[in-house]
Structure 1
C-alpha cells in the first residue's frame, strides 16, 4: 500500500510538479480513502521525499559503481555521463518536472540535488586520490559536474519519456562531457592521450 501511494505521488508530480501535490490528488490517483493515506504518510510531501531519496540513491550509487572501475580521466568522463544517463532514463516521464525544479530553492527537489552533488563531489575527489592525481579546484569540479548535468538534461529533454536516447546522441554527449572533463580536470598528458582516441577530440578543418 505504501508503494502504491508513492507511485501515485510520482504520477501527480509528473503532471503538476511539487506545487501541485495534495493529499486529495494523490488519493484520487491511487484510488484510496483518505484514512488509508494517513496510515502511512502525514502529508503530501512525505511520499515525494521517498521518491527523491530513491532518486538520489540511484544517481549516487550508479556513479559510485561507475567510478570504482576508473583508471584515468578519459574513462572518468565516459563513466560519469553513462551513470547520469542511466539515472535519467530510469525516471521516465517524471524526469522533465524533476529537472524543471532542480534550481528552484522553494522546491524540495533542489535540496536533494545539493545533497547528491555533495556526494558526487566526494566520489570524484576520492577517485582522484586513487589515481594519485592532485585534487581539482572546487570551481573546476563544479563546472564539470554542472556541465554533465546539463548535457544529460539536453539529451533527455530531446527524447520521449521512458525511451532510451539513440546511440549517436549518447556518443555525442559522451564526447562533449569528456572534452569538458579533460580541459577542467585533466592534464596535458590526458589531452594528448585523448587525441589518439577516435571520436573524442574534433579534427581540425
Structure 2
C-alpha cells in the first residue's frame, strides 16, 4: 500500500498543508484505505475526499476519476510483484526453484500489501475493475518469464491455461491467508506449504506411472 501521509498515523500534516506530489500521494494513500475497505464498485469520489480531507474540485484537479486513482493503487502493487518475479527469474535456473521462491514472494507480497490484497483478488474477474486488467498483464508477464526460461534450457513450453490454473491456486490461498486479516504464522506457513504441494506436484507429475511423487515439507519449503 502507498506509504503516503494518509496512513502514517497521528501527527501527520493536514491536507491543506500539502502541495504538489506530496498532496497527490496523500490522496492516493487515502484512496488505498477506502478501496481496501469497500472495493472498486463501492469506492466513490465522495468517500475518497472524505478520507483525504480535501474538496471535490481539488480531487478532480489531481485525478480524472475514481477509476484513475484506483488504477494507480493496483498498478503499483502489481508492478512490485512483477519486479520481484523478474529478480527471481534472473537468479534461478531451475523451474522448481524459481516457482518455489515465486510462491514465497507472493506470500510476502500479500503480507506487505495487507488489506488492499483482498479487493484486488476479489476483482480479478470483474472487467470493470482495474484489478482485472492488471491481473491479465501480471499473469501474461509471469507466463512469458516461465516459458522463456524453459526455452533457454531446451525444455518444452507449458500451456498457458495450465500455468494460469496454477497461478489461480497461488492467488486464492495466498490472498485468503492475509485477508480480511493476517492469519497466525503457523497458518501462514501451513498454507504456503499447501500451495507448494499443489503447484510443485503438478509440475513434476509423472504421467507414465500415474503417481504423484511425495513432496516432503522440506522440499516444499525449498
With normalisation by structure 1, the TM-score equals 0.81
Q: Tell me the distance in 1 between the aligned counterparts of 2:169 and 2:103.
A: 10
Root-mean-square deviation (CA, aligned residues, Å) is 2.6
Query: Is residue 197–residue 215 contact of structure 2 (8 Å, CA) maintained in 1?
Result: no
The aligned residue for residue 115 of structure 1 is: 137
Question: Of residues 198, 210, 219 in structure 2, which corresponds to 1:180?
Answer: 198
Change (3 A) 1:23 1:171: closer
Change (3 A) 1:79 1:181: same
Q: Between 9-18 and 64-73, report the one with greater CA deviation.
A: 64-73
The aligned residue for residue 85 of structure 1 is: 107
The aligned residue for residue 191 of structure 1 is: none
The aligned residue for residue 99 of structure 1 is: 121
Instruction: Specify every segment of 5 or more residues in structure 2 that has no aligned partner in the other structure, as ranges.
Output: 1-22, 207-212
Change (3 A) 1:53 1:65: same
Deviations 1:147-171 (A, max 9, x none): 12122123223743xxx851x4444
Change (3 A) 1:196 1:112: closer
Runs of 4+ in structure 1 displaced over 6 angstroms?
A: none
Q: Tell me the distance in 2 between the aligned counterparts of 1:196 and 1:30.
A: 49
Query: Is residue 78–residue 134 contact of structure 2 (8 Å, CA) maintained in 1?
Result: yes
Question: Of residues 138, 141, 144 in structure 1, which corresponds to 2:160?
Answer: 138
The aligned residue for residue 199 of structure 1 is: 218
Q: Tell me the distance in 1 between the aligned counterparts of 2:168 and 2:122.
A: 15
Instruction: Specify every segment of 5 or more residues in structure 1 that has no aligned partner in the other structure, as ranges.
Output: 189-193
Q: Tell me the distance in 1 between the aligned counterparts of 2:44 and 2:80.
A: 26
Q: Tell me the distance in 2 between the aligned counterparts of 1:26 and 1:72.
A: 45
Query: Is residue 95–residue 146 contact of structure 2 (8 Å, CA) maintained in 1?
Result: no
Question: Of residues 124, 146, 159 in structure 1, which corresponds to 2:146?
Answer: 124
Q: How many residues align?
A: 193
Q: Tell me the distance in 2 between the aligned counterparts of 1:155 and 1:25.
A: 27
With normalisation by structure 2, the TM-score equals 0.75
Query: Is residue 123–residue 129 contact of structure 2 (8 Å, CA) maintained in 1?
Result: yes
